[in-house]
C-alpha cells in the first residue's frame, strides 16, 4: 500500500482534501543535484544505469515532496529497442542518423521483446520502488506512436516535422505500418513496466498538435486508443497531447483515467470539452514559473479553483524549463500542498 | 477599380460565385523563379530593393493566378526601423545580435517615422501596384507586437521563446513599454502602406499560441486591437494568430474584416467560435500539399464545403513549405477556382 495515495485517488475520481501535485520533467536540469550527475554521465548512460535513473527519479521528491515520482527515462528508448540508432547531441537534442523514409525501411524494422530489450528500465523501476519505499506512487511513460514516428522519420527535432508528415501524406501505408510497429512495441513495453512496479503510465503526444483534427484521428489517436485499450485493465492511464484541445472530447471517452491539459486551454474550456467528469491534469504555463514566487502562489491557487480540487492533478502544461529558480519550483509545489478551499 | 475583386468582396462579406484564394508565403522558395532571384541577392537586399520585392510579389500571380498578391517583405523590418540590428543567417533564420532584455534597453529604443525609415517598402508597393495593373488586390502585412517582441527579446527563433516570456513575466513593465513602442511603429507603418496603395493588411501573430489565454489578452491581443482600431477605417484588416483558437471569439468582435484560421481548428469549430458571421481565411495544412494532386483537389473542395463559399477566403493554415511540388500548389489554387456548389 502506498502511504500518500492522493495521486491515485485523484486518478480514480475520489474526493480528496487537496489535489495531488507533480511536475512534468520534475527530474530535470533546474535541479543542482541533477546537474551534478549530468556532468559525470551522458544522457543514455543516465537512462541505462538503474542506479542513476532511480537516483535522478527520487531527487525532486526528496527536495520538494511531490505526490508522485516519474521514472527518469526518454521516449526514444522505444526506437532504440526497435534497432533504430538514436543519439543525443549536446545543444542539439535527439539525432537519428538513419531516418526511416520508405515502406521498405519500415518493413526492415523489428518489433522487439520490449521487456528484454529494455530490461534496464525494468531494473530502474524496481530500484526506484525500493528507494521510494511506498511513500508515493511511481509513474512510467512512453511517447505516443505519432510522436515517436516524428523523430524516426524526421531524424531530429523540428518546428513543422515536414518530413514526418510527408511520409504520412505521400505514403500512408508506410506510415501506418510504422505506427503499428511502434504501437505494438509500446504496449509490450508499458505492460512490462506495470509488471515491474509502476503505479500509473502516461502517454506523451508531444507533437499531436501539429496535425489537423482529421489527420490526428488517423495518425495519432487511433494508436493511442490501442494503447489505452491494452493497458487500462492493468493500470491507470494518463494521456497528454500538447496542442490537442480539438481531441479532448474523444480522449475523455477513451477509457483513460486522466487527460493532460496544456496552458493554452483554460480550465473552463478543458472541463467543457471533456464533459466535466474525467480527471484532468495540468496546466500551468512552464514559463510562468519565471514570475516571482508570490505571484506563482496566487496563480496556482486560482488554477486549482478554476479546475476544482477534485478530479484534478496539479501540474505544469508541459515540462519544467531548465532556468527555473529553485524557490519558484518550490512555490508551485507548496501552493498546491497548502491549498484550502 | 480592381478587376478581380473577389478577395475584397469576401472581406466585405458579400455573396460571391466562388471563394477567393491566395496562399501565405506564396512568393516563396517552392517557386523556381523565386529561387533564381534568391541565388543572386541576399534576403534583405530582396526586401529593400523595390524592383526585386515587386518582381517576387507578382511571380506567383503570373504562374497561378491567385486572387490576391501579398507584398514580399518580412515582419522584422519593424525592429530594423526601430534601430535594432536584425541579421538573416542562412540555415538558421533571423538573428538579433543585441537582444532587448531590460527596461533600460527598452527605454533606449526609438519609435521611428516608419514611412520614412521604411520608404523602400512604400516604393515596392507603388512598383507592385503598377505591375499588377489593377488585376488583383495587394495585401500588406506586419507581425503582431507580441511576435515582434519574441524576436527582439529572444534574439532568434525558438520553440518556447522562454527568454521573451521571462521578460514578460519577470518585468511586465519593460515588456509593455516595448510592446507599445512596437505597436506605435506598426500602426504608423501600416498606415503608410495603405497610403502607398495596399488594398488590405494582415497582422501575423505567429507566436500568440505560445501564451495562455489570459497572458494572450495582456501581452498580445491588447496591442493587436490597437492596430485594428487605428486601421479599420482606412482599409480591410485580417488577423491571423497561429494556435490562437482560444481567442477567436474576441477576434470576431474586434472590427477586423476577417480572421485567419490554422489547420488545428476545424471549419466547424472556427465558425462556432467566431459566431458564424465574420469572414474566415484558411486553413489547409501546408504539409497536406505533399499529398498527391487528386487528393489535394478533393480535400480543398471538402474544405470549402465545410467553411461555406461565402464569407470565406481559401488559404493555407500557415506558410507554404519550400519542398512543395509546383503541380501540387497548382492543384490547390485550381481546386478553389474550379469550385462549384
Burial of A135 (0-12, 13-18, 19+ CB in 10 A): middle
Burial of B39 (0-12, 13-18, 19+ CB in 10 A): exposed
Restricting to B residues 162-221, those with a Cβ less than 8 Å away from any Cβ of A are 162, 165-166, 169-170, 209, 211-215
Of B264, B286, B291, the CB nearest to A170: B291
Active site residue A74: yes
pLDDT by residue (tens digit) across B284-313? 999 999 999 999 999 999 999 999 999 999
Of A212, A245, A285, the CB nearest to B212: A285
- In degrees, to the nearest 5, what angle opens at C-alpha A306 toward C-alphas A300 and A312? 80
Band of pLDDT at residue A341, cut at 50, 70 and 90 = confident
Band of pLDDT at residue A168, cut at 50, 70 and 90 = very high
The Cα–Cα gap between A183 and A149 comes to: 10
Neighboring chain B residues of A264 at a CB cutoff of 8 Å = 209, 211-213, 243, 245-246
Q: What are phi and psi of A137, to 5 degrees?
A: -70, 160
Mean pLDDT of the region B55-65: 98
The Cα–Cα gap between A155 and A153 comes to: 5
3-class DSSP state for residue B70?
A: strand
* Mean pLDDT, chain B, integer: 97
Mean pLDDT of the region A78-107: 96
Active site residue B25: yes
pLDDT at B341: 85
Mean pLDDT of the region B218-237: 98
Mean pLDDT of the region A184-209: 98
pLDDT at A91: 86
Q: Which of A50, A150, A142 is nearest to A94 (CA)?
A: A150
pLDDT by residue (tens digit) across B119-130? 999 999 999 999
pLDDT at B325: 97
Band of pLDDT at residue B159, cut at 50, 70 and 90 = confident
Domain spans in chain A, listed from the N-terminal domain onward: 6-337
Neighboring chain B residues of A317 at a CB cutoff of 8 Å = 212
The ipTM, to two decimals, is: 0.94
pLDDT at B5: 97
pLDDT by residue (tens digit) across A290-318? 999 999 999 999 999 999 999 999 999 99
Per annotation, catalytic residue among B30, B64, B151, B189 = B151
Residue with cell 528507494: A131
Contact B243, B159 (CB under 8 A): no
Q: Which fold has domain B6-337?
A: TIM Barrel (3.20.20)
**Touching check for A99 and chain B: CB below 8 Å?**
no
pLDDT at B91: 86
Contact A243 B264 (CB under 8 A): yes
Neighboring chain B residues of A242 at a CB cutoff of 8 Å = none
Band of pLDDT at residue B256, cut at 50, 70 and 90 = very high
3-state secondary structure chain A: CCCCCHHHHHHCCCCCCCCCECCCCCCCCCCHHHHHHHHHCCHHHHHHCHHHHHHHHHHHHHHHCCCCEECCCCCCHHHHHCCCCCEEECCCEEECCCCCCCHHHHHCCCCCCHHHHCHHHHHHHHHHHHHHCCCCCEEEEEECHHHHHHHHHHCECCCCCHHHHHHHHHCHHHHHHHHHHHHHHHHHHHHHHHHHCCCEEEEEECCHHHCCHHHHHHHHHHHHHHHHHHHCCCCEEEEEECCCHHHHHHHHCCCCCEEEECCCCCHHHHHHHCCCCCEEEEEECHHHHHCCHHHHHHHHHHHHHHHCCCCEEEEECCCCCCCCCHHHHHHHHHHHHCCCC
Query: In angstroms, what separates the C-alpha of B229 from chain A's closest C-alpha?
Result: 26
pLDDT at B90: 87
Which of A157, A264, A273 to probe the B interface (max B CBs under 10 A)? A264
Amino acid at each position: 500500500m502506498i502511504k500518500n495515495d492522493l495521486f491515485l485517488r485523484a486518478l480514480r475520481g475520489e474526493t480528496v482534501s487537496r489535489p495531488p501535485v507533480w511536475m512534468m520533467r520534475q527530474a530535470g536540469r533546474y535541479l543542482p543535484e541533477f546537474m551534478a550527475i549530468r556532468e559525470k554521465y551522458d544522457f543514455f548512460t543516465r537512462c541505462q544505469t538503474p542506479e542513476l535513473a532511480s537516483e535522478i527519479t527520487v531527487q525532486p521528491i526528496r527536495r520538494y515532496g511531490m505526490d508522485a515520482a516519474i521514472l527518469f527515462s526518454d521516449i526514444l528508448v522505444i526506437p532504440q529497442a526497435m534497432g533504430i540508432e538514436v543519439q543525443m547531441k549536446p545543444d542539439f537534442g535527439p539525432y537519428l542518423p538513419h531516418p526511416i523514409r520508405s515502406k521498405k525501411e519500415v518493413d526492415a524494422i523489428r518489433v522487439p521483446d520490449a521487456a528484454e530489450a529494455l530490461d534496464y528500465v525494468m531494473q530502474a523501476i524496481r530500484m526506484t520502488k525500493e528507494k521510494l519505499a511506498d511513500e508515493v506512487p511511481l509513474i512510467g511513460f512512453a511517447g505516443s506512436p505519432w510522436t515517436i514516428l516524428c523523430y524516426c522519420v524526421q531524424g531530429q527535432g523540428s518546428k513543422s516535422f515536414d518530413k514526418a508528415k510527408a511520409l504520412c501524406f505521400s505514403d500512408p501505408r508506410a506510415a501506418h505500418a510504422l505506427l503499428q510497429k511502434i504501437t505494438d512495441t509500446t504496449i509490450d513495453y508499458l505492460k512490462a513496466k506495470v509488471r515491474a512496479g509502476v503505479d500509473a503510465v502516461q502517454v506523451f503526444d508531444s507533437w499531436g498538435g501539429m496535425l489537423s483534427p482529421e489527420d490526428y484521428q488517423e495518425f495519432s489517436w487511433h494508436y493511442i486508443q490501442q494503447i489505452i485499450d491494452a493497458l487500462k485493465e492493468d493500470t491507470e492511464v494518463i494521456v497528454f497531447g500538447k496542442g490537442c484541445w480539438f481531441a479532448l472530447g474523444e480522449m475523455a471517452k477513451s477509457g483513460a483515467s486522466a487527460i493532460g491539459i496544456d496552458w493554452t486551454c483554460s480550465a473552463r474550456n478543458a472541463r467543457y470539452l471533456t464533459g466535466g467528469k474525467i480527471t484532468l491534469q495540468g496546466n500551468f504555463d512552464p514559463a510562468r514559473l519565471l514570475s516571482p514566487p508570490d505571484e506563482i502562489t496566487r496563480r496556482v491557487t486560482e488554477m486549482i479553483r478554476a479546475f476544482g480540487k477534485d478530479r484534478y492533478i496539479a501540474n505544469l502544461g508541459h515540462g519544467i524549463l531548465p532556468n527555473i529558480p529553485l524557490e519558484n519550483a518550490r512555490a508551485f509545489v507548496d501552493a498546491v500542498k497548502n491549498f484550502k478551499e
